[in-house]
Amino acid sequence: MEQIYDLMILGAGPAGLAAGLYGARAGLSTLILEKGTDGGQAVLTDRVENYPGAMLEDETGYSLTERMLAQAEAFGAVRKNAEIQSVQLDGDIKILAGSSVEYQARTVILATGASPRRLGCPGEEAFTGRGVSYCATCDGAFFRGREVFVAGGGDSAVEEALFLTRFARKVTIIHRRDQLRAVKTLQDRAFAHEKIDFIWDSTVEALEGQEALQTIRLRSKKNGEIRSITAEDGGMLGLFVFVGLTPNTQIFEGKLELEKGYVKTDENMRTSVPGVFAAGDLRVKSLRQIITAAADGAIAAMEAQRYLETAE
């Protein structure tokens, strides 16, 4: 049987790691559980330029969050690999259960973040990893010298399109409107970039190919016309999808209050269940950034400490 921790944190993205730092530094026995790679969405980005102090040459989301974990561990936080399948959040002892092990604590911070939203068109699943990608940092280099496409018009789409210009011969952003959602600085950079082109008012209708993605079918939002894009050399096309996020909250459904899938909290990160807090992208909030995730984590850990003091 595992020990009963003061604080358990589910997710090791910037929110969970900041919570781990603040919890452990406050003297709470702190367990961080993560099923995959630390860093969450932040490791999908190659360049972090808007987290204060992250100005080191070659700073990536990975390097930044690697230091965040080291800092939390330096104060005594314990990080374990675990895929949690069910949660028991009511009661004084909270339980997070994997397939063969249960973890227990008196408080929990949910920091499971969000995952890339899928386009939902035919062929998307079949060609994932064979032309379709959700991570330019991971897969961009496979498209050296090729033509690639990016679906989406937000910060992620434009930032990653800029990153892809390092490898690709040409990068075309496919957006469903005629205006980008991304912040102006990113827009300006993309509009000025000689390798970046745009297809406006269009959505991806279907993806086709033999072994790999070879044809992207687009539908015009203006007149419904369908057009096809095929690789000039008949080879593989790259399609990087950045059309927003879906919160990773499925296992919390029915356990606490959600709004359109996101966890509702007050400004102190308290959820509808006493002793359960939420931090980061899975929360109902207006700005999803590394800095706001880290801030949520700090607040949630301090609230957990306060909760434990009053519960004693």
- Picking from 79, 81, 41, the residue whose alpha carbon sits closest to that of residue 61 is 41
Is 289 near ligand NAP (CB under 6 A)? yes
- Which of 152, 247, 275, 297 lies at the binding interface for ligand NAP (CB under 6 A)? 152
Is 135 designated active site?
A: yes
Is 14 near ligand NAP (CB under 6 A)? no
- Which of 242, 252, 277, 307 lies at the binding interface for ligand NAP (CB under 6 A)? 242
- Which of 11, 153, 275, 297 lies at the binding interface for ligand NAP (CB under 6 A)? 153
Is 247 near ligand NAP (CB under 6 A)? no
Is the sign of the CA dihedral 149, 154, 158, 161 positive or negative?
A: negative
Report the residue count for the chain. Answer: 312
Cross-strand bridge partners of residue 216: 207, 229
Q: Which of 6, 139, 155, 281 is catalytic?
A: 139
Q: Are 235 and 208 in contact, with CB atoms under 8 Å apart?
A: no
Binding residues for ligand NAP, total number by CB under 6 A:
20
Is 261 near ligand NAP (CB under 6 A)? no
Stretch that binds ligand NAP, among 151-159, 212-220, 272-280, 295-303 (CB under 6 A): 151-159
Is 245 near ligand NAP (CB under 6 A)? yes
Within 75-134, the residues that bind ligand NAP by CB under 6 A are 119
Minimum CB distance to ligand NAP smaller for 100 or for 223: 223
Taking the complex as a whole, how short is the minimal distance between the CB of residue 167 and ligand NAP, in angstroms? Answer: 19
Is 138 designated active site?
A: yes
Minimum CB distance to ligand NAP smaller for 76 or for 154: 154
Is 159 near ligand NAP (CB under 6 A)? yes
Taking the complex as a whole, how short is the minimal distance between the CB of residue 162 and ligand NAP, in angstroms? Answer: 11
Q: Are 109 and 10 in contact, with CB atoms under 8 Å apart?
A: yes
Taking the complex as a whole, how short is the minimal distance between the CB of residue 251 and ligand NAP, in angstroms? Answer: 22
- Which of 156, 165, 248, 265 lies at the binding interface for ligand NAP (CB under 6 A)? 156
Is 139 designated active site?
A: yes
Taking the complex as a whole, how short is the minimal distance between the CB of residue 116 and ligand NAP, in angstroms? Answer: 7
Q: Are 158 and 182 in contact, with CB atoms under 8 Å apart?
A: yes
Taking the complex as a whole, how short is the minimal distance between the CB of residue 21 and ligand NAP, in angstroms? Answer: 22
- Which of 151, 207, 231, 258 lies at the binding interface for ligand NAP (CB under 6 A)? 151
| Catalytic residue numbers, as ranges | 135, 138-139
Question: Which residues contact ligand NAP (rule: CB under 6 A)?
Answer: 50, 119, 151-157, 159, 176-177, 181, 203, 242-245, 288-289
